[in-house]
Amino acid sequence: MGLAFTDSGEQVTVRVRHQVLVVTEGIANNGDAVVELTGADLAGTTSVTSKSGDPEAWPEPLGLLDREITGFNLHMR
């Protein structure tokens, strides 16, 4: 899924592979949808402004994200 942040101009592609969220720069051509949003939209304080592609694609990965930031162990390869 492509995420285009209208407030910063940043564009990324988000995928879930082997239960890991993978974020890469730019919007891939083969994504399910492209969502235009702001940082506030991602935080859940406002609603997404527009989207193209599969309309059901946006809520699914958003539901996988934890809204509450807690401490965690980070493993680097």
Residue 51: which CATH number? 3.30.1050.10
Evaluate whether residue 71 is within a structural domain.
Answer: no
Evaluate whether residue 70 is within a structural domain.
Answer: no
Domain total for the chain?
1
CA–CA separation, 42 and 67 (whole Å): 10
| Phi, psi for residue 2 in degrees, rounded to 5 | -90, 140
Evaluate whether residue 12 is within a structural domain.
Answer: yes
Q: What's the pLDDT at 56?
A: 67
| Phi, psi for residue 74 in degrees, rounded to 5 | -115, 125
Positions of the chain with pLDDT lower than 50, given as ranges? none
Q: What's the pLDDT at 26?
A: 95
Evaluate whether residue 77 is within a structural domain.
Answer: no
Domain that holds residue 50: 2-62
Alpha-carbon distances, residue 75 vs 20, 37, 63 (angstroms): 13, 30, 24
Evaluate whether residue 76 is within a structural domain.
Answer: no
- Grouping H, G, I as helix, E, B as strand and the rest as coil, residue 23 is strand
Q: What's the pLDDT at 40?
A: 80
Q: What's the pLDDT at 62?
A: 66
From the list 61, 57, 60, 35, the residue with the least C-alpha distance to 48 is 35
